[in-house]
Structure 1
Amino acid sequence: MPGFLNAGLWGLLGGAALILGALAGLYLKLSKRVISSVMAVGAGVLVSAVAFDLMDEAFHEGGFDAAAIGLTLGAVVYFVADLLVNRAGAHHRKRSQDQQDTSAEGGSAIFLGALLDGIPESLAIGVSLLGGAGVSWVFVAAVFLSNVPEGLSGAAGMRRAGRSTRYVLGLWIAVMIASGVAAALGYVLLRGVDPDIIAGIQAFAAGAVLAMLASTMMPEAYEEGGPLVGLLTALGFLLAFVLGKLD
Protein backbone atom coordinates (compact mmCIF):
# COMPACT_ATOMS: atom_id res chain seq x y z
CA MET A 1 0.00 0.00 0.00
CA PRO A 2 1.36 3.47 -0.87
CA GLY A 3 2.61 5.36 2.17
CA PHE A 4 0.32 8.35 1.69
CA LEU A 5 -2.71 6.06 1.48
CA ASN A 6 -1.67 4.26 4.65
CA ALA A 7 -1.32 7.62 6.42
CA GLY A 8 -4.72 8.72 5.15
CA LEU A 9 -6.36 5.56 6.45
CA TRP A 10 -4.85 6.10 9.92
CA GLY A 11 -6.19 9.66 9.87
CA LEU A 12 -9.64 8.40 8.87
CA LEU A 13 -9.52 5.80 11.64
CA GLY A 14 -8.91 8.48 14.26
CA GLY A 15 -11.73 10.59 12.82
CA ALA A 16 -14.08 7.60 12.77
CA ALA A 17 -14.04 7.65 16.57
CA LEU A 18 -15.73 11.05 16.37
CA ILE A 19 -18.49 9.52 14.25
CA LEU A 20 -19.01 6.71 16.76
CA GLY A 21 -19.33 9.26 19.54
CA ALA A 22 -21.69 11.41 17.48
CA LEU A 23 -23.93 8.41 16.73
CA ALA A 24 -24.08 7.61 20.43
CA GLY A 25 -24.96 11.22 21.23
CA LEU A 26 -27.69 11.27 18.60
CA TYR A 27 -29.35 7.87 19.01
CA LEU A 28 -28.72 6.72 22.57
CA LYS A 29 -31.01 8.29 25.11
CA LEU A 30 -28.27 9.17 27.56
CA SER A 31 -28.93 11.39 30.54
CA LYS A 32 -27.03 14.64 30.95
CA ARG A 33 -25.19 13.12 33.91
CA VAL A 34 -23.97 10.18 31.83
CA ILE A 35 -22.87 12.49 29.02
CA SER A 36 -21.05 14.73 31.49
CA SER A 37 -19.30 11.67 32.97
CA VAL A 38 -18.10 10.58 29.53
CA MET A 39 -16.96 14.14 28.84
CA ALA A 40 -15.01 14.18 32.12
CA VAL A 41 -13.16 10.96 31.29
CA GLY A 42 -12.45 12.29 27.81
CA ALA A 43 -11.15 15.54 29.25
CA GLY A 44 -8.70 13.61 31.43
CA VAL A 45 -7.52 11.63 28.41
CA LEU A 46 -7.02 14.82 26.42
CA VAL A 47 -5.04 16.48 29.21
CA SER A 48 -2.76 13.45 29.32
CA ALA A 49 -2.39 13.48 25.52
CA VAL A 50 -1.48 17.16 25.58
CA ALA A 51 1.09 16.74 28.33
CA PHE A 52 2.74 13.44 27.45
CA ASP A 53 2.17 13.13 23.72
CA LEU A 54 1.79 16.40 21.86
CA MET A 55 3.83 18.79 24.02
CA ASP A 56 6.47 16.27 24.99
CA GLU A 57 7.03 15.34 21.35
CA ALA A 58 7.00 19.01 20.34
CA PHE A 59 9.67 19.82 22.91
CA HIS A 60 11.91 16.94 21.80
CA GLU A 61 11.48 17.87 18.14
CA GLY A 62 11.85 21.64 18.31
CA GLY A 63 12.70 22.75 21.84
CA PHE A 64 11.04 25.37 24.02
CA ASP A 65 10.61 28.02 21.32
CA ALA A 66 8.73 25.89 18.78
CA ALA A 67 6.60 24.27 21.49
CA ALA A 68 5.73 27.57 23.15
CA ILE A 69 4.96 29.41 19.91
CA GLY A 70 2.85 26.54 18.56
CA LEU A 71 0.84 26.14 21.76
CA THR A 72 0.18 29.88 22.01
CA LEU A 73 -0.93 30.09 18.38
CA GLY A 74 -3.25 27.10 18.81
CA ALA A 75 -4.89 28.64 21.88
CA VAL A 76 -5.24 32.06 20.23
CA VAL A 77 -6.73 30.62 17.02
CA TYR A 78 -9.24 28.60 19.02
CA PHE A 79 -10.11 31.63 21.16
CA VAL A 80 -10.75 33.82 18.13
CA ALA A 81 -12.71 31.17 16.25
CA ASP A 82 -14.81 30.35 19.33
CA LEU A 83 -15.49 34.05 19.87
CA LEU A 84 -16.73 34.37 16.28
CA VAL A 85 -18.97 31.31 16.71
CA ASN A 86 -20.47 32.71 19.91
CA ARG A 87 -21.04 36.13 18.38
CA ALA A 88 -22.73 34.60 15.36
CA GLY A 89 -24.99 32.60 17.67
CA ALA A 90 -25.79 35.66 19.76
CA HIS A 91 -26.68 37.62 16.63
CA HIS A 92 -29.41 35.12 15.73
CA ARG A 93 -30.59 34.40 19.27
CA LYS A 94 -34.14 34.95 20.39
CA ARG A 95 -34.95 35.39 24.05
CA SER A 96 -37.14 32.28 24.13
CA GLN A 97 -34.31 30.15 22.72
CA ASP A 98 -31.49 31.01 25.11
CA GLN A 99 -31.05 27.47 26.45
CA GLN A 100 -31.11 25.93 22.99
CA ASP A 101 -28.60 28.42 21.64
CA THR A 102 -26.31 27.80 24.60
CA SER A 103 -26.37 24.08 23.82
CA ALA A 104 -25.69 24.76 20.16
CA GLU A 105 -22.74 26.98 20.95
CA GLY A 106 -21.31 24.41 23.35
CA GLY A 107 -21.60 21.69 20.73
CA SER A 108 -20.12 23.96 18.07
CA ALA A 109 -17.21 24.88 20.33
CA ILE A 110 -16.38 21.21 20.91
CA PHE A 111 -16.65 20.58 17.16
CA LEU A 112 -14.31 23.50 16.56
CA GLY A 113 -11.82 22.13 19.08
CA ALA A 114 -11.94 18.70 17.43
CA LEU A 115 -11.26 20.29 14.04
CA LEU A 116 -8.35 22.43 15.25
CA ASP A 117 -6.93 19.43 17.09
CA GLY A 118 -7.63 16.76 14.50
CA ILE A 119 -6.02 18.38 11.47
CA PRO A 120 -2.62 19.22 13.04
CA GLU A 121 -2.57 15.87 14.83
CA SER A 122 -3.30 14.06 11.56
CA LEU A 123 -0.52 15.98 9.85
CA ALA A 124 1.78 14.71 12.59
CA ILE A 125 0.53 11.14 12.00
CA GLY A 126 1.54 11.42 8.36
CA VAL A 127 4.99 12.62 9.33
CA SER A 128 5.43 9.84 11.91
CA LEU A 129 4.88 7.21 9.21
CA LEU A 130 7.75 8.57 7.10
CA GLY A 131 10.22 6.69 9.28
CA GLY A 132 8.54 3.37 8.48
CA ALA A 133 7.94 2.41 12.12
CA GLY A 134 4.16 2.68 11.87
CA VAL A 135 1.64 3.92 14.40
CA SER A 136 1.45 2.14 17.75
CA TRP A 137 -1.77 0.59 19.08
CA VAL A 138 -1.36 2.75 22.17
CA PHE A 139 -1.57 5.89 20.08
CA VAL A 140 -4.67 4.59 18.29
CA ALA A 141 -6.30 3.73 21.63
CA ALA A 142 -5.56 7.22 22.96
CA VAL A 143 -7.10 8.82 19.88
CA PHE A 144 -10.27 6.78 20.29
CA LEU A 145 -10.49 7.46 24.02
CA SER A 146 -10.33 11.19 23.41
CA ASN A 147 -12.34 11.46 20.18
CA VAL A 148 -15.39 9.43 21.20
CA PRO A 149 -16.35 11.78 24.10
CA GLU A 150 -15.77 14.82 21.88
CA GLY A 151 -18.09 13.45 19.22
CA LEU A 152 -20.68 12.37 21.78
CA SER A 153 -20.81 15.62 23.75
CA GLY A 154 -20.71 17.83 20.67
CA ALA A 155 -23.49 15.92 18.92
CA ALA A 156 -25.60 15.76 22.08
CA GLY A 157 -25.34 19.52 22.52
CA MET A 158 -26.35 20.17 18.93
CA ARG A 159 -29.23 17.70 19.22
CA ARG A 160 -30.56 19.48 22.32
CA ALA A 161 -30.43 22.71 20.33
CA GLY A 162 -32.65 21.22 17.64
CA ARG A 163 -30.04 20.58 14.95
CA SER A 164 -30.99 17.86 12.46
CA THR A 165 -29.24 14.49 12.45
CA ARG A 166 -28.07 15.13 8.89
CA TYR A 167 -26.53 18.44 9.92
CA VAL A 168 -24.69 17.00 12.93
CA LEU A 169 -23.39 13.89 11.18
CA GLY A 170 -22.38 16.00 8.19
CA LEU A 171 -20.14 18.14 10.41
CA TRP A 172 -18.42 15.16 12.05
CA ILE A 173 -18.01 13.32 8.76
CA ALA A 174 -16.34 16.45 7.41
CA VAL A 175 -13.87 16.37 10.33
CA MET A 176 -13.17 12.68 9.70
CA ILE A 177 -12.48 13.30 6.01
CA ALA A 178 -10.34 16.33 6.80
CA SER A 179 -8.31 14.21 9.24
CA GLY A 180 -7.66 11.57 6.59
CA VAL A 181 -6.67 14.13 3.98
CA ALA A 182 -4.43 15.95 6.47
CA ALA A 183 -2.61 12.72 7.38
CA ALA A 184 -2.00 11.92 3.71
CA LEU A 185 -0.80 15.48 3.05
CA GLY A 186 1.47 15.31 6.07
CA TYR A 187 3.12 12.23 4.60
CA VAL A 188 3.52 13.80 1.15
CA LEU A 189 4.27 17.45 1.90
CA LEU A 190 6.20 17.35 5.18
CA ARG A 191 8.87 14.85 4.18
CA GLY A 192 12.24 16.20 5.29
CA VAL A 193 10.73 19.39 6.75
CA ASP A 194 12.45 21.28 9.56
CA PRO A 195 11.71 19.59 12.94
CA ASP A 196 10.67 22.98 14.33
CA ILE A 197 7.71 23.00 11.96
CA ILE A 198 6.60 19.54 13.05
CA ALA A 199 6.98 20.59 16.67
CA GLY A 200 4.92 23.71 16.02
CA ILE A 201 2.14 21.66 14.41
CA GLN A 202 1.97 19.31 17.39
CA ALA A 203 2.04 22.16 19.90
CA PHE A 204 -0.64 24.03 17.92
CA ALA A 205 -2.96 21.05 18.37
CA ALA A 206 -2.13 21.02 22.10
CA GLY A 207 -2.98 24.70 22.48
CA ALA A 208 -6.31 24.31 20.70
CA VAL A 209 -7.22 21.32 22.88
CA LEU A 210 -6.33 23.09 26.13
CA ALA A 211 -8.34 26.16 25.17
CA MET A 212 -11.35 24.02 24.27
CA LEU A 213 -11.12 22.01 27.49
CA ALA A 214 -10.88 25.06 29.73
CA SER A 215 -13.62 27.08 28.04
CA THR A 216 -16.15 24.44 27.02
CA MET A 217 -15.75 20.76 27.77
CA MET A 218 -14.74 20.80 31.45
CA PRO A 219 -17.12 23.61 32.57
CA GLU A 220 -20.03 21.91 30.79
CA ALA A 221 -19.16 18.56 32.34
CA TYR A 222 -19.03 20.09 35.83
CA GLU A 223 -22.27 21.99 35.34
CA GLU A 224 -24.15 18.81 34.46
CA GLY A 225 -22.27 16.26 36.57
CA GLY A 226 -21.13 18.11 39.68
CA PRO A 227 -18.03 17.28 41.77
CA LEU A 228 -17.90 13.69 40.52
CA VAL A 229 -16.44 14.89 37.22
CA GLY A 230 -13.21 15.83 38.99
CA LEU A 231 -12.65 12.21 39.99
CA LEU A 232 -13.61 10.93 36.53
CA THR A 233 -11.25 13.40 34.87
CA ALA A 234 -8.41 12.14 37.05
CA LEU A 235 -9.27 8.54 36.15
CA GLY A 236 -9.32 9.40 32.45
CA PHE A 237 -5.90 11.01 32.82
CA LEU A 238 -4.58 7.94 34.63
CA LEU A 239 -5.95 5.58 31.98
CA ALA A 240 -4.26 7.47 29.15
CA PHE A 241 -1.05 7.78 31.17
CA VAL A 242 -0.90 4.02 31.76
CA LEU A 243 -1.58 3.29 28.07
CA GLY A 244 1.21 5.65 27.13
CA LYS A 245 3.69 3.90 29.40
CA LEU A 246 2.78 0.53 27.89
CA ASP A 247 4.08 1.63 24.49
Structure 2
Amino acid sequence: MLLTVLVIAVVSAALIAGAGWGASGKISPRVEGFVIALAGGALIVSSVLELVEPATGTAPLWAVVGCVLAGAGVFVAMDRLVARRLGSNSGGGLLAAITLDGVPENLALGVALIGAGPLQVASLSGSIFLSNLPEAAGGAREMTQQRSRWQVMALWAGAAVLLSLSALAGNLLLAGVPGTALGLVRCVAGGAVVASLATEVFPQAFKEESYMAGFATALGMVLAIGLDQLG
Protein backbone atom coordinates (compact mmCIF):
# COMPACT_ATOMS: atom_id res chain seq x y z
CA MET A 1 0.00 0.00 0.00
CA LEU A 2 2.90 2.34 0.78
CA LEU A 3 4.31 1.81 -2.72
CA THR A 4 0.91 2.58 -4.24
CA VAL A 5 0.52 5.84 -2.30
CA LEU A 6 4.08 6.87 -3.12
CA VAL A 7 3.71 6.25 -6.87
CA ILE A 8 0.38 8.08 -7.01
CA ALA A 9 1.77 11.02 -5.04
CA VAL A 10 4.80 11.38 -7.31
CA VAL A 11 2.72 11.17 -10.50
CA SER A 12 0.16 13.69 -9.27
CA ALA A 13 2.87 16.02 -7.97
CA ALA A 14 3.94 16.46 -11.60
CA LEU A 15 0.81 18.60 -12.07
CA ILE A 16 1.87 21.00 -9.32
CA ALA A 17 5.50 21.08 -10.50
CA GLY A 18 4.41 21.63 -14.09
CA ALA A 19 2.01 24.40 -13.09
CA GLY A 20 4.79 26.16 -11.20
CA TRP A 21 7.05 25.80 -14.24
CA GLY A 22 4.43 27.22 -16.59
CA ALA A 23 3.30 30.03 -14.27
CA SER A 24 6.90 31.20 -13.92
CA GLY A 25 6.97 31.91 -17.67
CA LYS A 26 10.24 30.02 -18.16
CA ILE A 27 8.94 27.16 -20.29
CA SER A 28 9.92 26.94 -23.96
CA PRO A 29 7.04 25.86 -26.23
CA ARG A 30 9.42 23.64 -28.22
CA VAL A 31 10.63 21.88 -25.08
CA GLU A 32 7.02 21.49 -23.97
CA GLY A 33 6.03 19.95 -27.32
CA PHE A 34 8.99 17.55 -27.32
CA VAL A 35 8.25 16.28 -23.80
CA ILE A 36 4.53 15.92 -24.55
CA ALA A 37 5.31 13.82 -27.63
CA LEU A 38 7.84 11.77 -25.65
CA ALA A 39 5.22 11.03 -23.01
CA GLY A 40 2.64 10.21 -25.66
CA GLY A 41 4.90 7.64 -27.28
CA ALA A 42 5.51 6.02 -23.90
CA LEU A 43 1.78 5.98 -23.14
CA ILE A 44 1.04 4.14 -26.41
CA VAL A 45 3.25 1.25 -25.34
CA SER A 46 2.11 1.34 -21.71
CA SER A 47 -1.60 1.32 -22.57
CA VAL A 48 -1.14 -1.70 -24.81
CA LEU A 49 1.27 -3.76 -22.69
CA GLU A 50 0.01 -2.88 -19.21
CA LEU A 51 -3.71 -2.32 -19.80
CA VAL A 52 -5.02 -4.08 -22.91
CA GLU A 53 -2.76 -7.02 -23.77
CA PRO A 54 -3.04 -8.85 -20.40
CA ALA A 55 -6.83 -9.10 -20.79
CA THR A 56 -6.51 -11.04 -24.04
CA GLY A 57 -5.31 -14.05 -22.07
CA THR A 58 -8.36 -14.22 -19.79
CA ALA A 59 -11.28 -12.62 -21.65
CA PRO A 60 -12.85 -13.17 -25.09
CA LEU A 61 -11.46 -10.97 -27.84
CA TRP A 62 -14.85 -9.43 -28.54
CA ALA A 63 -15.09 -8.30 -24.90
CA VAL A 64 -11.60 -6.77 -25.01
CA VAL A 65 -12.38 -4.91 -28.22
CA GLY A 66 -15.74 -3.73 -26.89
CA CYS A 67 -14.26 -2.38 -23.67
CA VAL A 68 -11.43 -0.56 -25.44
CA LEU A 69 -13.89 1.09 -27.83
CA ALA A 70 -16.27 1.91 -24.97
CA GLY A 71 -13.49 3.65 -23.05
CA ALA A 72 -12.49 5.64 -26.13
CA GLY A 73 -16.09 6.56 -26.90
CA VAL A 74 -16.83 7.82 -23.39
CA PHE A 75 -13.66 9.91 -23.34
CA VAL A 76 -14.34 11.46 -26.75
CA ALA A 77 -17.91 12.34 -25.78
CA MET A 78 -16.87 13.96 -22.50
CA ASP A 79 -13.91 15.76 -24.05
CA ARG A 80 -16.14 17.19 -26.76
CA LEU A 81 -18.69 18.32 -24.16
CA VAL A 82 -15.99 20.17 -22.20
CA ALA A 83 -14.69 21.86 -25.36
CA ARG A 84 -18.19 23.00 -26.36
CA ARG A 85 -19.28 24.24 -22.95
CA LEU A 86 -16.06 25.83 -21.67
CA GLY A 87 -13.67 26.11 -24.59
CA SER A 88 -10.59 23.92 -24.70
CA ASN A 89 -7.92 26.60 -25.14
CA SER A 90 -8.33 28.96 -22.22
CA GLY A 91 -9.11 29.27 -18.53
CA GLY A 92 -11.33 26.72 -16.90
CA GLY A 93 -11.91 24.87 -20.15
CA LEU A 94 -8.24 24.04 -20.50
CA LEU A 95 -7.99 22.90 -16.88
CA ALA A 96 -11.14 20.80 -17.26
CA ALA A 97 -9.85 19.18 -20.45
CA ILE A 98 -6.50 18.25 -18.91
CA THR A 99 -8.19 16.97 -15.75
CA LEU A 100 -10.48 14.87 -17.92
CA ASP A 101 -7.42 13.44 -19.68
CA GLY A 102 -5.88 12.59 -16.34
CA VAL A 103 -8.82 10.71 -14.81
CA PRO A 104 -8.58 7.62 -17.06
CA GLU A 105 -4.79 7.71 -16.91
CA ASN A 106 -4.73 7.77 -13.12
CA LEU A 107 -7.58 5.26 -12.84
CA ALA A 108 -5.52 2.99 -15.07
CA LEU A 109 -2.48 3.57 -12.89
CA GLY A 110 -4.39 2.64 -9.74
CA VAL A 111 -5.75 -0.53 -11.34
CA ALA A 112 -2.34 -1.48 -12.76
CA LEU A 113 -0.78 -1.20 -9.29
CA ILE A 114 -2.99 -4.01 -7.97
CA GLY A 115 -0.66 -6.91 -7.25
CA ALA A 116 2.15 -5.42 -9.32
CA GLY A 117 5.78 -4.77 -8.45
CA PRO A 118 7.55 -1.44 -9.04
CA LEU A 119 9.16 -2.43 -12.35
CA GLN A 120 5.89 -3.72 -13.78
CA VAL A 121 4.28 -0.29 -13.58
CA ALA A 122 7.40 1.82 -14.17
CA SER A 123 6.60 2.50 -17.82
CA LEU A 124 2.99 3.48 -17.13
CA SER A 125 3.68 5.70 -14.11
CA GLY A 126 6.74 7.24 -15.76
CA SER A 127 4.90 8.12 -18.95
CA ILE A 128 1.96 9.59 -17.03
CA PHE A 129 4.43 11.70 -15.02
CA LEU A 130 6.06 12.97 -18.22
CA SER A 131 2.63 13.68 -19.68
CA ASN A 132 1.36 15.57 -16.62
CA LEU A 133 4.41 17.82 -16.35
CA PRO A 134 4.28 19.67 -19.72
CA GLU A 135 0.47 19.58 -19.95
CA ALA A 136 0.19 21.35 -16.60
CA ALA A 137 2.95 23.78 -17.61
CA GLY A 138 1.14 24.71 -20.81
CA GLY A 139 -2.20 25.00 -19.04
CA ALA A 140 -0.81 27.19 -16.27
CA ARG A 141 0.91 29.42 -18.82
CA GLU A 142 -2.43 30.08 -20.53
CA MET A 143 -4.30 30.60 -17.26
CA THR A 144 -1.88 33.22 -15.91
CA GLN A 145 -3.29 35.56 -18.57
CA GLN A 146 -6.60 35.57 -16.67
CA ARG A 147 -5.68 34.73 -13.05
CA SER A 148 -2.95 35.38 -10.52
CA ARG A 149 -0.17 32.84 -10.10
CA TRP A 150 -1.51 31.85 -6.68
CA GLN A 151 -4.98 31.20 -8.09
CA VAL A 152 -3.50 29.12 -10.90
CA MET A 153 -1.39 27.07 -8.49
CA ALA A 154 -4.41 26.49 -6.23
CA LEU A 155 -6.49 25.22 -9.17
CA TRP A 156 -3.77 22.83 -10.29
CA ALA A 157 -3.24 21.60 -6.74
CA GLY A 158 -6.96 20.81 -6.64
CA ALA A 159 -6.63 18.91 -9.91
CA ALA A 160 -3.71 16.94 -8.48
CA VAL A 161 -5.82 15.94 -5.46
CA LEU A 162 -8.71 14.88 -7.72
CA LEU A 163 -6.46 12.73 -9.91
CA SER A 164 -4.80 11.19 -6.84
CA LEU A 165 -8.24 10.20 -5.57
CA SER A 166 -9.03 8.67 -8.98
CA ALA A 167 -5.92 6.50 -8.79
CA LEU A 168 -6.63 5.47 -5.19
CA ALA A 169 -10.25 4.66 -6.08
CA GLY A 170 -9.11 2.46 -8.95
CA ASN A 171 -6.68 0.67 -6.65
CA LEU A 172 -8.89 0.21 -3.58
CA LEU A 173 -12.36 -0.30 -5.01
CA LEU A 174 -11.27 -2.85 -7.60
CA ALA A 175 -8.78 -4.80 -5.48
CA GLY A 176 -11.22 -7.71 -4.94
CA VAL A 177 -12.56 -7.87 -8.50
CA PRO A 178 -11.97 -11.19 -10.35
CA GLY A 179 -9.05 -11.21 -12.77
CA THR A 180 -11.14 -11.32 -15.94
CA ALA A 181 -13.34 -8.39 -14.90
CA LEU A 182 -10.29 -6.43 -13.75
CA GLY A 183 -8.65 -6.98 -17.12
CA LEU A 184 -11.71 -5.58 -18.89
CA VAL A 185 -11.73 -2.53 -16.62
CA ARG A 186 -8.12 -1.95 -17.62
CA CYS A 187 -9.20 -2.17 -21.27
CA VAL A 188 -11.78 0.57 -20.75
CA ALA A 189 -9.11 2.77 -19.18
CA GLY A 190 -6.69 1.88 -21.98
CA GLY A 191 -9.19 2.92 -24.64
CA ALA A 192 -9.71 6.26 -22.90
CA VAL A 193 -5.95 6.86 -22.70
CA VAL A 194 -5.48 6.11 -26.40
CA ALA A 195 -8.34 8.48 -27.28
CA SER A 196 -6.75 11.23 -25.18
CA LEU A 197 -3.48 10.76 -27.06
CA ALA A 198 -5.19 11.18 -30.42
CA THR A 199 -7.36 14.17 -29.53
CA GLU A 200 -5.26 16.09 -26.99
CA VAL A 201 -1.64 14.98 -26.67
CA PHE A 202 -0.26 14.52 -30.18
CA PRO A 203 -2.03 17.53 -31.76
CA GLN A 204 -0.59 19.75 -29.01
CA ALA A 205 2.88 18.23 -29.41
CA PHE A 206 2.88 18.83 -33.18
CA LYS A 207 1.64 22.39 -32.71
CA GLU A 208 4.54 23.23 -30.37
CA GLU A 209 7.43 21.18 -31.80
CA SER A 210 6.30 20.43 -35.39
CA TYR A 211 8.00 17.48 -37.06
CA MET A 212 10.44 16.72 -34.23
CA ALA A 213 7.37 15.51 -32.35
CA GLY A 214 7.51 12.39 -34.52
CA PHE A 215 11.04 11.59 -33.34
CA ALA A 216 10.10 12.32 -29.72
CA THR A 217 7.14 9.95 -29.97
CA ALA A 218 9.36 7.13 -31.26
CA LEU A 219 11.88 7.85 -28.49
CA GLY A 220 9.12 7.61 -25.90
CA MET A 221 8.02 4.26 -27.30
CA VAL A 222 11.58 2.90 -27.13
CA LEU A 223 11.99 4.06 -23.52
CA ALA A 224 8.70 2.46 -22.47
CA ILE A 225 9.61 -0.83 -24.15
CA GLY A 226 12.95 -0.77 -22.35
CA LEU A 227 11.26 -0.23 -18.98
CA ASP A 228 8.82 -3.03 -19.70
CA GLN A 229 11.67 -5.41 -20.49
CA LEU A 230 13.24 -4.65 -17.10
CA GLY A 231 10.05 -5.95 -15.49
- TM-score normalised per structure 1: 0.78
CA distance in 2, matches of 1:169, 1:61: 43
- Counterpart amino acid of residue 202 in structure 1: R
Aligned to 1:246: 230
What code does the residue aligned with 2:220 have? G
Equivalent of residue 190 in structure 1, options 174, 191, 198: 174
Identity of aligned residues (%): 28
One-letter amino acid matched to 2:82:
V
In 1, the alpha carbon distance for the partners of 2:162 and 2:89 equals 27
Aligned to 1:15: 12
Partner of 2:161: 177
**Structure 1: which amino acid aligns with 2:61?**
F
Among 177, 181, 193, which residue is 1:209 paired with?
Answer: 193
> Which one of 84, 99, 102 corresponds to residue 89 of structure 2?
102
Residues 117 and 205 in structure 1, CA contact (< 8 A), matched pair in contact too: yes
- Which of the pair has more CA radius of gyration? 1
Give the aligned residue type for 2:102: A
For residues 225 and 116 of structure 1, do their structure 2 counterparts lie closer, same or farther at Cα, with a shift above 3 Å needed?
Answer: same
Shift, 1:180, TM fit: 4.3
The structure-2 alpha-carbon separation of the partners of 1:103 and 1:41, relative to structure 1 and needing over 3 Å to count, comes to: farther
Q: CA deviation at 1:122?
A: 1.0
Query: Given the alignment, which residue of 171, 184, 188 partners 1:200?
Result: 184
Aligned length: 228
Asked if structure 2 preserves the Cα contact closer than 8 Å seen for 1:103 and 1:158, the reply is no
8 A Cα contact 2:51 2:108, kept in partner: no
Cross-structure match for 2:109: 121
Which amino acid is the alignment partner of residue 39 of structure 2?
G
CA 117–191 in structure 1, closer or farther in 2 if over 3 Å, else same = closer
Q: Which amino acid aligns with 1:224?
A: E
Per the alignment, in what secondary structure is the counterpart of residue 62 of structure 1? coil
Separation in 2, partners of 1:147, 1:71: 23
Match for residue 79 of structure 1 among 76, 80, 83: 76
Q: For structure 1, list consecutive stretches of 5 or more residues without a partner in the other structure.
A: 91-100
Q: Show the counterpart of 2:40.
A: 43
1:53 Cα deviation from its structure 2 partner: 1.5
Deviations 1:106-147 (A, max 9, x none): 55423311122212431342xx23xxxx52245235413332
Taking a change above 3 Å as real, the CA distance of residues 155 and 60 of structure 1, as seen in their structure-2 partners, is farther
| TM-score scaled by length of structure 2 | 0.83
Q: Which amino acid aligns with 2:132?
A: E
Instruction: Please give the root-mean-square deviation of Cα atoms over the aligned residues, in Å.
Output: 2.7
Q: Which is worse superposed, 228-237 or 16-25?
A: 16-25
Asked if 1:222 corresponds to 2:209, the answer is no
